[in-house]
Structure 1
């Protein structure tokens, strides 16, 4: 039960403290990965594969070392809690969402535009209040899976090595997985690996969003209908499941034209509701927190049940 207790303790730590302002372990990993990239970079899929393999294997190896070091039950629980806290980002995600909501509700568009890069990579300079609200709700939806559900899922499946390896994969995707001229080839493996790692967690996020829809004043039936109809319309194989479920649960319409620097994407609309408004951000954050707790209950509960069943079989 040490892993299960550690995962719950890490979730509580994240809820109480969020991410540290300085010295975050994920930032340290990012700096190390950046240094390695400067040494290995070539405009090549093979070089990108080597880079990705070294970084992910290093993170998983660190997790195995933690498991080997923590032989005592209390030590292993504490180390698992620390690793879980380090890779979770749900609390910080919610805080950023609420800060954006406060800026928009105060009518401070400039402050809201300055905050948007904390949540997503699109260009905020020409966005009005409703477009900023849409961007925030979409980011909260997608990152509920990336920052909360997926770490809990992989922690329940593979323990500390799963936690650290998943965060490495997700961080590498953010660093080199985007479709820029520099990373089109070099970042391809990182991007595909991130898609694979998030396949199951994104679909779990969608289903849990349906179940938690009443928390945001929504209907599970409507949320499920939108998830089934629109989940595959998004260009991402995973983000669409989360965004469609949130759109249905919140009764809003997501999707549309997004500008990322010099790149413009015209994404399909998700949902049948009205355009997202600043007030919907607080509902989205509330829904995200409910989904996170539900994901912990499901993933950790299933892990505990499987362990109990395995022990009973051995007897």
Structure 2
């Protein structure tokens, strides 16, 4: 079945995310997907890569299949389906709000509140973190999640329609659930982690380039993107973080603790470590990159739709 590119639906979905953000509700489509994936995991789990492949194939295939069904709707229905799917998979407004909440807490020297909010942004253990490390964690999470929550879903929605939107969010959600390193998921989560790396390869680099274009220091953002983007252990996150570090004139990276597991990551950037004031600057940069990504996605979908119409006999 041919892919239907719907720029109007994408634009409406971006507007819905801006207006209503990402409500924390058990009825949210991503939450429903997560519960279904958890139930399936209980059925198929064994400490083997093959079982993880089965989980990923069923969950991602099911999400993509739902998107294909949405593309069978009449034109108006496809637009509504694209808008709802775009709203469901985007998290840019919520991401910026979480960053602003962290900035507010740290500006008030409320470490307890800031530590309680950090898990909304990343999986880092916040219990022993002081204000400078909380600020660094927030800036790094804003950089990485600008790609995961905004640029990547818009990219896949622009080039693959509703199936692309839903399949990407399924992949990214599974990676968050089982793609991390732990004794339980070292093998079972392998497929989810690898597929997420593939799905984010292009979007992460687009995020870096959009950061260069929209950031306050374009020259330094480009220099750090090129120099340090490969230094992160993730093949994708480093491209985003290095560009953010250069644009904001800070240094990211260092020692992180995740549920008792310590990681020592190379530094990126050539400035001082982030301070509390840099969180507000990172939030503004996240919003600028998100706006540029939305414009690029809608334009791309419009061009592809125009080309498809022109190719009809």
Q: TM-score range by the shorter chain?
A: over 0.9
Alignment check: 8 A CA contact 1:137 1:281 kept: yes
Structure 1 partner of 2:185: 183
1:119-153 Cα shifts (integer Å, max 9, x gaps):
11111111111100000000000000000000000
Structure 2 partner of 1:9: 12
Structure 2 partner of 1:278: 276
Alignment check: 8 A CA contact 1:2 1:77 kept: no
Question: Of the candidates 184, 191, 194, which is equivalent to residue 192 of structure 1?
Answer: 194
Deviation (angstroms), 1:312: 3.8
Whole-angstrom CA distance in 2 between matches of 1:308 and 1:85: 24
Alignment check: 8 A CA contact 2:52 2:190 kept: yes
Q: Which stretches in structure 2 are left out of the alignment for 5+ residues?
A: none
Structure 2 partner of 1:113: 115
Deviation (angstroms), 1:86: 0.3
TM-score by length of 1: 0.96
Question: Of the candidates 28, 42, 45, which is equivalent to residue 41 of structure 1?
Answer: 45
Q: Which stretches in structure 1 are left out of the alignment for 5+ residues?
A: none
Structure 2 partner of 1:159: 161
Structure 2 partner of 1:55: 59
1:173 aligns to 2:171 (yes or no): no
Whole-angstrom CA distance in 2 between matches of 1:9 and 1:307: 16
TM-score by length of 2: 0.96
- Listed as ranges, the matches of 1:1-315 within 5 Å are 3-22=6-25, 23-68=27-72, 70-71=73-74, 73-213=75-215, 218-312=216-310
Q: Please list every run of at least 4 consecutive aligned residues from structure 1 whose deviation after the TM superposition is greater than 4 angstroms.
A: none
Count how many residue pairs are aligned between Structure 1 and Structure 2.
309
Alignment check: 8 A CA contact 1:2 1:76 kept: no
Q: What's the RMSD between the two structures over aligned residues?
A: 1.2
1:79-131 Cα shifts (integer Å, max 9, x gaps):
11001000000111111110000000000011101111111111111111110
